[in-house]
Amino acid sequence: MNKRNLILGIVLSTLMITSCVKDLDVKPKDPNTILAGNLGDDPVYMKEVLGKIYASFMISGQGSNGGDDITASDGNFFTTTRALWNVQEITTDEAICAWGDVGIADLNTQTWSANNPFLTALYQRLSLSITYANDFIKFTNGNSDPAVMQYNAEARFLRALAYYWDMDLFGNPPFTTDADRVGKFFPKQIERAKLFNYVVSELHSIEDKLGEPKFSYPQADQAACWMLLARVYLNAQVYTGTAKWDSCKIYCDKVINSGQYSLATNYRQNFSADNDGIHNPEMIFAWEQDGINTQGYVGTTFVIESSSDPIYIRAEDFHGLTSNTNWNGNRTKKQFLNVLVDTIATYGNVPIPASDPTFAQCKDKRVFCKTKKSMDIPSASSSGDYGIGVYKFTAKNTDGTQAANYNPAFASTDFPIFRYADALLMRAEALYRLGDKTNAVTDINAVRARAYGNATGNITTAQLNDKFLMNERGREFYYEAQRRTDLVRFGKFTDGNYNWVWKGGTYNGTNTDSHLNIFPIPGDEVSANPNIKQNSGY
Amino acid sequence: MKKRIFTMLSMLFLGILFAGAINAQGIKVSGKVTDAADGSSLVGVTIQEKGTTNGTITNVSGNFSLTVAPTATLIISYVGYTAQEVPVNGRTAINVAMAVGDLRLQEVVVIGYGTVKKSDATGSVVAVSSKDFNKGAITSPQDLLVGKSAGVVITTDGGAPGSGATIRVRGGSSLNASNEPLIIIDGVPIDNHNVSGSSNFLSFVNPNDIETFTVLKDASATAIYGSRASNGVILITTKKGKVGNPMKITYDGNTSISSAIEFLDEYSGDEIRQIALDHKDLFGVESFNKLGTENTNWQKEIFHTAVSQDHNLSVSGAYKILPYRVSVGYTDQNGIMKNTDMQRVTGSISLDPTFLNNDLKVNINVKGMSTNNNFGDRGALGSAINMDPTKPVMDGNSASDGYFQWINYGANLGTPNPVEQLMAADNKSIVKRVIGNIQFNYKIPFIPELHANLNLATDYTKGSGHNNRPITSPSVLTSPLWGRLSDYNGTNYNNLLDFYLNYSKELSQINSKIDVTAGYSWQHFKREGDSYIRGIEDATHPYQKTDSSSFITENYLVSFFGRLNYTLLDRYLLTVTVRDDGSSRFAKDNRWGIFPSAALAWKIKNESFLKNVDVVSDLKLRLGWGVTGQQDIGNDYPAQARYITSSPGSYYPIGGEFLPTLRPSAYDPDIKWEQTTTQNLGFDFGFLKDHITGSFDIYKRVTDDLLNTVTIPSGSNFSNVLLTNVGSLENRGVEFSLNLMPLSQKDMSLILGFNVTYNKNKITKLLISDDPDYIGILYGDAFTGQKQVTRVGYPAYSYFLNKQVYNANGYPIEGLYVDLSGLGGTVNGDNADKYIYHNPAPDYLLGFSARFNYKNLDISASARTSIGNYVYNQVAAAAAYDQMYAIGYWHNEPKYLSDTKFVKRQFTSDYFVENGSFFKLDNLSAGYLFDNLFNKLSARVSITVQNLMTITKYRGIDPEVNGGIDNNFYPRPRTFMLGISLTY
């Protein structure tokens, strides 16, 4: 009897144990989690995974649900667009940052190392956006739904865009496509010129698969693809050693001839809360920002707040932002003010009078600057009270009213990537290089007429030269994260005898070594991936 | 694999099963069992007919009767007394007087799935019982054990009411996985994750209910817990009723007064006004307008003297065969920071009935707790240090309920008024927890050597709370800016089933004893929670922000385990254990891990050459080896490809509509167990009739396949870092403990305890690829720089800083560092120019305790010394003149600034790393016992001072800093306590 009970007990416990071992095959029950195997269950998932690739360029992550996309010492500092802005602007004549955070001083003075946290995060995040895109492209390849195939093309566009920045900033990044797996492996490095070919061929391949221009802002459409091709060709000589001015012109033509875009009447609209492609005829492609739905101390919120301070440019007054304001970091330098404001034409051969701190007398209406405590910046790490404040980006609407989806802490102003003005100025540069100064001047004067409100700012073919083109791009696109790329193309970023305060760490600025024209591969990456070789000079 | 192990264990058991003895008919024997010392009757004594399962226990009068064979021999045994064998010889009346046994030899320690006589323990096992606990106003169990055991380092989180502590057994064997030991309370391994709203996962245990802590340190002792044992195991046993004990009612109560020991030395309002004058070129004359006229000491404004009380009532004893203990406790603890307090009610019931002639023993334990926490706002600590002392506390500012506030807030702007910040915080939680288990121990009737054990347990914790601020309350660096409503809830579930068989037999023919245990364990952990944050909207404060999130996560552990103890000639002991653990955290192919161990002990004292040497009363050599694992990595699904949705505010428009986004999570399909291999050599010794006892252990622990979050090659996975198995580390250490009894007379005794811990941690591998130039894993943030590193060849979390250059007077020169790389350029903050300079872990820890009794007076003290722990004084590093007046607002700074005179902060200077070695007199207590006051009532009155004295060179408030970065933690108070204990 007892023995029978014991045997029965053993049998029962064996059964119980077997069923309990099955408990180990646990699946997540969290409603915020979807297993990879369930992605096909609801069509909206396709939109949401695609949306993530876009969002990965702007905001830090999934909010309180999933946290930041990368592990870094600060979530907002090290987002793609914010880090891109820093490495494209404070390394140049356009901006300097007062903050003492690790890595900022190195960017201010062009003395960065491979351990710079902004460069590390930007490099890692661009790769991450590419990995997100690879995953989505692999999942949707060959999908029978044409809508999904259009998303697939958008993901390929975003991947090409990330590779473009990789190519421009770091030269020789790791290279993965949707053919690669995800796990633990060492991606191969690609050379800059080969990457150029890849980016161009991808963009050609998806040109007809993307939506028509303006089909659904802010999603990438054919015009965005043409603009990226034009931008890549514009810099072809830097990337490959061979110029491609004619190709650049072809894709600018496509944008301009599409008839879908025009210059906004008011230049400032491009930097206001109503700058989106629905309200603004000039916006071709931008990263969405929204006070309610797409938040963060990133993108334009960062540009606005880091350029505001509690005395000279109060965010409360200038931008309608009242929460956590006035970070007092970024200003521009007097060398760039001389690019922006034609002081001789405006004020005569005298010092700029203190009575006009906002340069209101300047005829070029693209100047949104204000003198602070002094125009001079006494040290590379001087407080933000020194220098010339910039308030070009704002969280208000063009007419000064409060933004839709207003938030006191977060701007709803989208971050422009491609504007129609850029199509005109890229084409002008291509035409100039191809020897067609007349048509180049026509494009330039279209942009300048909008800036001046009339033809008084127009130039003649005689006035057109390299320096003018470089400076005109500065006047039009300052604080839009383009300056470093432009200076490198014109040979003025490092050793071109164009210097500004604290370049190279000296007050008057010095030439720096040309290896700085591309950034180092982060030390973290070189350690983690034996396939990656450091860029020369580092 | 798991099937194989189970089969193996079953076979082992079936192999040793053999038929039990047969009952014989015979005569009825009755009698009484008494205490040989005083003649009192003993209740619950086991009377067994030798060689059979036939037996009984004595009743409340000490009487028994049993029918046995006329030629039988009775075995009479009772816990704490020497067992006797009495031949019946046909007698029908047998009275027995029992003598108290040799206590040390009788001492039993709890080990995994069973107990062992302390003298037979083969592993490194330390038991600390209630008489040795730290005294004072102690509300959390961890505090009882601080400094009491070699190799166990407990660092309390600070002085906040109800705060927890970090426990490290023999250093940390993991990097990113948990370094917490496994804690088992009355047989239930508990979930060491705090539920939302709780700051101490052990707070549900009332310290007054604890009988012993048993710390299993080496792998031969812990490996039976396999995958959770790498960081040691702490078994907590609570007090129980005992068969035969009359009802005893005990009341313990105390009142205590706590106050801050010292404040940080800061500038006064007058001094700030002078600094403004002295540095007018730096701050500008317009800064003068912003200075106030007060001399407010903001630190004093946020602290106060706190009065707390604690009451505990317990009833224990035995009702017939049902031993019981019931207790209730109430704690009202007030923090020395204003508006921080905790009220806790605990209750426990313990029942230990036996049935079926003692064949079935049942233990039922239920513990419950309800705690109300008021956390206040810790941020006020930092604000009090930085708030401008020239400003008043109140100025009638209607926007902020009468408190002075700066007009604007922002990233670099005004410090919030610390008093308002603290007092307006409505940051409260309620945490309830119930943990209950029932254990059955059944002696199989036909095989008396075989016991079956079943343990069923459940552990349920619910926390809910809110962290609100009124609309008159600003805050820095949070959104929304004015006013906030924040609610959260969390629930943890933990269910357990253990089943094991134990077979124990003397094999007298071969002078051996075997003890075999084999079993199965199933445990399920589930946690869920949600939070919801929103701004307060009104006419002047429009829509601000809403954020909500929720989670559910769970994991299972299924295990098979076995242990063999073999004793030869009562001199040579062998223990072999094996555990096969399956974790749901890993993918199928990597799920199971086998964790074996073996230990040998040699009771040298029992050898003929030592047996008659009186000076040596005990000597035992222990050798142990074992492999343990780790899988507690926070993430329950690290091997599964998942997408996670974004919360509101992190949406992106697709198709003209804002949608949440779905992000693929980084995952490692090949992730597996982390394994730690431990070798241990130890001695236990006793001299002069055990007036001197102690033990000595030396160990080496090597962890391989570290569960480590490492930077991965860009493009290979869905993040820049991945939790994967990379790297190795080792800990080597020596432990020594000594107990001395210089006085042991009837009326007067003195017991001294002393323990030393030495541990060195070293990383031996870190990367997937091997790069000798790899800088290591850096720690720090964007605002204060990267200051710590985990690098191959060095201890984890070593400081990584620039080498400061000093002037002729020995003061640091601002921003000037040695260019260690020789590359020139920016040296300040550049990793290439940093070097490794000390680390936060101490080299040596010494614990001291003393207990003196003279008649009814008792005095006890405990103290600790830590040697070689270094602290980064971030409070000092944050002080700079440019911080004093930034963008229109004055801030105070600690007076360290008068030494450095830094204009800008220099966070990466090694100047701020200070030697944190300390001596702390943790507590001193004196008590007097008034016995037989009325009837059987006795009373003990005691006074205790906690945190009496600290001797250190460290310039900050307290050198005992968890993690090594001193950044304004809640200061540990000095507490005076008056206690009374009544026993009836």
For residue A55, the distance in angstroms to the closest alpha carbon of chain B comes to: 6
For residue A198, the distance in angstroms to the closest alpha carbon of chain B comes to: 17
Binary contact (A52, B888; C-beta < 8 A):
no
Q: How many CB atoms lie within 10 A of CB B587?
A: 17
For residue A403, the distance in angstroms to the closest alpha carbon of chain B comes to: 13
Query: What average pLDDT is seen over chain B?
Result: 84
- For residue A54, list chain B residues with Cβ-Cβ distance below 8 A: 652, 654
Q: In B551-633, which residue ranges form alpha helices assigned H by DSSP?
A: 608-611
B51 pLDDT more than 80 = no
Task: Return residues 427-456 of B near A (CB < 8 Å).
Answer: 444-446
B416–A contact, CB cutoff 8 A: no
Q: Which residues pair with B369 in a beta bridge?
A: B346, B433
Binary contact (A48, B520; C-beta < 8 A):
no
Nearest to B552 among A2, A29, A63 (CB): A29
- Tracing tokens 């090694």 back to the chain, one arrives at B910
- For residue B786, list chain A residues with Cβ-Cβ distance below 8 A: 73, 102
Select from B495, B560, B661 the residue whose CB has the most chain A CBs within 10 Å, as the one to mutate to test that interface: B661
Give me the mean pLDDT over the B709-727 stretch: 90
Binary contact (B905, A100; C-beta < 8 A):
yes
Nearest Cα residue in chain A from B782: A73
8 Å CB contact between B868 and B759 = no
Nearest Cα residue in chain A from B11: A10
Q: How many CB atoms lie within 10 A of CB A513?
A: 11
8 Å CB contact between B678 and A93 = no
**pLDDT single digits (tens) A125-170:** 999 999 999 999 999 999 999 999 999 999 999 999 999 999 999 9
Report residue A238 as tokens: 């830097």
In angstroms, what is the C-alpha Rg of chain A?
26
For residue B661, the distance in angstroms to the closest alpha carbon of chain A comes to: 4
Report CA dihedral (B689, B695, B696, B701) to the nearest 10 degrees: 160
Binary contact (B551, A32; C-beta < 8 A):
yes
Q: What's the DSSP call for residue B44?
A: S
In this prediction, the residues of chain A whose per-residue pLDDT falls under 50 are 1
Give me the mean pLDDT over the B760-770 stretch: 82
Report CA-CA distances (Å) from B911 to B265, B806, B833: 19, 9, 15
Task: Return residues 530-589 of B near A (CB < 8 Å).
Answer: 531, 542-545, 547-556, 558, 582-584, 588
- The structure's pTM equals 0.82
**Domain match, A124 and A259 both:** yes
A495 found inside a domain: yes
Can you give the pLDDT at residue B825? Answer: 66
Select from A8, A24, A311 the residue whose CB has the most chain B CBs within 10 Å, as the one to mutate to test that interface: A24
8 Å CB contact between B21 and B52 = yes
Nearest Cα residue in chain B from A324: B410
Give me the mean pLDDT over the B409-434 stretch: 81
- For residue B908, list chain A residues with Cβ-Cβ distance below 8 A: 102
**pLDDT single digits (tens) B505-522:** 888 888 888 989 999 999
Can you give the pLDDT at residue B477? Answer: 42
d(CA B270, CA B274): 6
Sequential DSSP letters for A13-67: HHHHHHHHHHTTS-----TTEEEGGGGGG-HHHHHHHHHHHHHTTTS-BSTTTT-
d(CA B363, CA A294): 57
The full 3-state SS of B128-159, as one line of letters, equals: EEHHHCCCCCCCCCHHHHCCCCCCEEEEECCC
Can you give the pLDDT at residue B153? Answer: 81
d(CA A284, CA B906): 45
Nearest to A48 among B520, B547, B661 (CB): B661
Q: What's the DSSP call for residue B528?
A: E
Report residue B881 as tokens: 């003149």
- State residue A226 phi and psi, 5-degree precision: -65, -40
Can you give the pLDDT at residue A267? Answer: 97
Report residue B765 as tokens: 């591998």
Report residue B647 as tokens: 């919360």
CATH number of A165's domain: 1.25.40.390
For residue A115, the distance in angstroms to the closest alpha carbon of chain B comes to: 7
Hey, what amino acid is at A534? Q
C-alpha of B318 from chain center: 32
Length of chain A: 538
- Tracing tokens 């009814």 back to the chain, one arrives at B856
**Domain match, A229 and A106 both:** yes
- For residue B716, list chain A residues with Cβ-Cβ distance below 8 A: 131, 176, 182-187, 529
Q: How many CB atoms lie within 10 A of CB B931?
A: 11
Select from B550, B652, B659, B821 the residue whose CB has the most chain A CBs within 10 Å, as the one to mutate to test that interface: B652
B18 pLDDT more than 90 = no
Q: In B436-484, which residue ranges form alpha helices assigned H by DSSP?
A: none
Highest mean pLDDT among B374-388, B649-663, B670-684 belongs to B649-663
Nearest to A288 among B652, B830, B908 (CB): B652
- State residue A452 phi and psi, 5-degree precision: -90, -15
Terminal Cα-to-Cα distance of chain B (whole angstroms): 57
Q: Strand A33-35: give its sheet, edge to edge.
A: A33-35, B642-645, B662-664
SS3 B227: helix
Nearest Cα residue in chain B from A310: B887
d(CA B896, CA B880): 9
Binary contact (A131, B771; C-beta < 8 A):
no
d(CA B309, CA B253): 7
Can you give the pLDDT at residue A111? Answer: 87
For residue B355, the distance in angstroms to the closest alpha carbon of chain A comes to: 17
B16 pLDDT more than 50 = no
Can you give the pLDDT at residue B12? Answer: 42
Nearest to A17 among B520, B542, B543 (CB): B520
Give me the mean pLDDT over the B343-359 stretch: 88
Nearest Cα residue in chain A from B771: A527
Q: A117-131, A522-536, B533-547, B694-708 — which is least confidently predicted?
A: B533-547
- State residue B446 phi and psi, 5-degree precision: -95, -5
**Domain match, A149 and A207 both:** yes
Q: Which residues contact B679 (CB under 8 A, 6 or more apart)?
A: B624, B625, B699, B700, B701
Task: Return residues 474-503 of B near A (CB < 8 Å).
Answer: 476-481, 497, 499
Report CA-CA distances (Å) from B906 to B12, B357, B498, B912, B926: 66, 75, 56, 9, 48
**Domain match, A136 and A248 both:** yes
Q: A192-206, B463-477, B688-702, B960-974 — which is least confidently predicted?
A: B463-477
For residue B460, the distance in angstroms to the closest alpha carbon of chain A comes to: 19
- For residue A105, list chain B residues with Cβ-Cβ distance below 8 A: 826, 828-829
Hey, what amino acid is at B429? S
Number of A–B residue contacts, CB under 8 Å: 380
SS3 B859: strand
The answer, yes or no, to whether the previous bond of B660 is cis (omega within 30 of 0) is no
Report residue B123 as tokens: 């592993």
More confident residue, B415 or A143: A143
d(CA B260, CA B159): 9
Nearest by Cα to A222 from A273, A270, A153? A153
Hey, what amino acid is at A331? R
Give me the mean pLDDT over the B448-452 stretch: 86
A248 found inside a domain: yes
Can you give the pLDDT at residue B774? Answer: 79
**Domain match, A78 and A175 both:** yes
B448 pLDDT more than 50 = yes
B1 pLDDT more than 60 = no
SS3 B583: strand
- For residue A73, list chain B residues with Cβ-Cβ distance below 8 A: 780-782, 786
Nearest Cα residue in chain B from A121: B720
ipTM of the complex: 0.95
**Domain match, A188 and A218 both:** yes
In chain B, % of residues over pLDDT 70: 92
B135 pLDDT more than 50 = yes
Judging by beta carbons within 10 Å of its beta carbon (0-12, 13-18, 19+), is residue B296 exposed, middle or buried? buried
Report residue A518 as tokens: 């591309």
C-alpha of B205 from chain center: 12
Report CA-CA distances (Å) from B376 to B419, B432, B493, B972: 11, 20, 28, 16
- Tracing tokens 């500004």 back to the chain, one arrives at A500
Nearest by Cα to A183 from B584, B587, B792? B587
**Domain match, A258 and A128 both:** yes
- Tracing tokens 């800016």 back to the chain, one arrives at B481
**pLDDT single digits (tens) B904-928:** 888 889 999 999 999 999 889 999 9
A11 found inside a domain: no
Report CA-CA distances (Å) from A419 to A209, A231, A396, A459: 22, 12, 19, 22
Report residue A209 as tokens: 């698969």
Q: How many CB atoms lie within 10 A of CB B456?
A: 15
8 Å CB contact between B843 and B867 = yes
**pLDDT single digits (tens) B565-618:** 898 888 899 989 999 989 999 988 888 989 999 999 898 988 888 888 888 888
Nearest to B668 among A44, A130, A184 (CB): A184
- For residue A79, list chain B residues with Cβ-Cβ distance below 8 A: none
Can you give the pLDDT at residue B408? Answer: 57
- For residue B782, list chain A residues with Cβ-Cβ distance below 8 A: 72-74, 77-78, 101-102, 117
- For residue A20, list chain B residues with Cβ-Cβ distance below 8 A: 497, 522, 556, 558
**Domain match, A238 and A341 both:** no
SS3 B281: helix
**pLDDT single digits (tens) B460-486:** 999 999 988 887 777 544 444 567 788
The helix or strand, by DSSP H or E, that contains position B66, with its residue range, turns out to be: strand B63-68
Q: In B500-633, which residue ranges form alpha helices assigned H by DSSP?
A: 608-611
Highest mean pLDDT among A136-145, B94-103, B482-491 belongs to A136-145
8 Å CB contact between A453 and A318 = no
**Domain match, A305 and A174 both:** no
A86 found inside a domain: yes
Q: In A413-482, which residue ranges form alpha helices assigned H by DSSP?
A: 420-434, 437-452, 466-477
Confidence of residue B49 (pLDDT cuts 50, 70, 90): confident
**pLDDT single digits (tens) B259-290:** 988 888 999 999 999 988 888 877 777 778 88
SS3 B72: coil
A452 found inside a domain: yes
Binary contact (A115, B775; C-beta < 8 A):
yes
For residue B714, the distance in angstroms to the closest alpha carbon of chain A comes to: 6
**Domain match, A90 and A170 both:** yes
A184 found inside a domain: yes
Nearest to B825 among A23, A111, A523 (CB): A111
**pLDDT single digits (tens) B154-185:** 888 778 888 888 888 887 788 877 888 888 88
**Domain match, A49 and A78 both:** yes
Report CA-CA distances (Å) from B966 to A321, B811, B904, B960: 35, 21, 20, 9
Can you give the pLDDT at residue A11? Answer: 62
- For residue A526, list chain B residues with Cβ-Cβ distance below 8 A: 771
**Secondary-structure percent of chain A, ordered helix, strand, coil, rounded to 5:** 45, 5, 45
Nearest by Cα to B715 from A55, A534, A35, A532? A532
For residue A174, the distance in angstroms to the closest alpha carbon of chain B comes to: 7
Class of the domain covering B105-238: mainly beta
Highest mean pLDDT among A105-114, A241-250, B131-140, B431-440 belongs to A241-250
B4–A contact, CB cutoff 8 A: no
Nearest Cα residue in chain B from A408: B544
Q: Which residues contact B559 (CB under 8 A, 6 or more apart)?
A: B226, B227, B520, B521, B522, B579, B580, B581, B582
The domain total for chain A is 2
Q: Which domain holds residue A156?
A: 44-272+420-466+481-528
Class of the domain covering B2-101: mainly beta
Can you give the pLDDT at residue B390? Answer: 92
B895 pLDDT more than 60 = yes
Can you give the pLDDT at residue B23? Answer: 39
d(CA B427, CA B487): 10
**pLDDT single digits (tens) B223-264:** 888 878 888 888 888 888 877 778 889 999 999 999 988 888
Q: Where do the structural domains in chain B lie, given as residue ranges?
A: 2-101, 105-238
Nearest Cα residue in chain B from A405: B543
